[in-house]
Amino acid sequence: RLNLREQLIREVEIIPLEVVCRNIVAGSMSQRLGIEEGTPLPRSIIEFYYKKDELNDPMVTEEHITAFNWATTQELDDILAMTVRVNDYLSGMFGAVGITLIDFKIEFGRVWENDFARVILADEISPDSCRLWDTATGEKLDKDRFRRDLGNVIESYTEVAKRLGIMKDMPTVIQGGLH
Ligand code: UDP
């Protein structure tokens, strides 16, 4: 972060996948498999979606990903390992402030160092791309408030930022836009 309005971004060659990691059933998994939202998964599940708006980002398997050269087997291994690490880190971080990480979506990109490509995380992590439920009450503190017309969108996002202690110097940005 350079200042309130700018951050330094590294350009990557984007891998055309949305990587979703789930700890508790919600959203499309609940609908597709007919499992009630809020059901804990026996273990975390990682899913891949092909980034193609015209097709509504269809779910794909590792077979598709390697067959169509969207990522190599080695890159997929790295993506899986990093996704598990991100899940562990975020679950702990949110858990410590009374928030349950239900699921999240991240993306990855390639950076080239001479002839060697390395895969790095290439996405924001925010309540726009995570499901975050208050652990005590089950209240939703994420984009579902907007998508499901539950109201209090700003209040919920603000609550997440406050609990994480990242709002002290930026309340006017979040609440009122930049002046
Ligand atoms: N997600 C996202 N962008 C997308 C699709 C999903 O950030 O284009 C996030 C979503 O917010 C949730 C997780 O990925 O945290 C799983 O989403 P799901 O497959 O349940 O789809 P949804 O019900 O959100 O459409």
Domain boundaries, the chain: 13-177
What CATH number does the domain located at 13-177 have? 3.30.470.20
Distance in angstroms (rounded) separating the CA atoms of residues 26 and 56:
18
Q: Which of 103, 144, 146 to mutate to test the pocket of ligand 1 (most atoms within 8 A of CB)?
A: 103
What separation in Å is there between the alpha carbon of 68 and the centre of ligand 1?
Answer: 23
pLDDT at 172 over 70: no
Instruction: Name the token pair of 120.
Output: 């790095």
Q: Which of 28, 30, 133 to mutate to test the pocket of ligand 1 (most atoms within 8 A of CB)?
A: 28
Q: Are 133 and 140 in contact (CB under 8 A)?
A: yes
What separation in Å is there between the alpha carbon of 23 and the centre of ligand 1?
Answer: 13
Q: Is 109's C-beta closer than 6 angstroms to any atom of ligand 1?
A: no
Q: Is 105's C-beta closer than 6 angstroms to any atom of ligand 1?
A: yes
**pLDDT for 1:** 87
Mean pLDDT of 25-34: 98
C-alpha closest to that of 23 among 82, 87, 83: 87
Each residue of 73-92: pLDDT tens digit? 999 999 999 999 999 999 99
Residue closest via CA to ligand 1's atom 14 equals 105
pTM (predicted TM-score): 0.91
Distance in angstroms (rounded) separating the CA atoms of residues 170 and 162:
10
H-type alpha helices, the chain: 27-33, 62-67, 73-95, 144-147, 153-163, 171-176
pLDDT at 171 over 90: no
Q: Is 27's C-beta closer than 6 angstroms to any atom of ligand 1?
A: yes
Distance in angstroms (rounded) separating the CA atoms of residues 158 and 70:
37
Length of the chain: 179
Q: If 0-12 CB within 10 Å is exposed, 13-18 middle and 19+ buried, where does residue 78 land?
A: middle
Instruction: Please give the number of the atom of ligand 1 that sits closest to the Cα of 57.
Output: 8
Residues paired with 104 in a beta bridge: 21, 130
Each residue of 133-149: pLDDT tens digit? 999 999 999 999 989 99
Distance in angstroms (rounded) separating the CA atoms of residues 93 and 86:
10
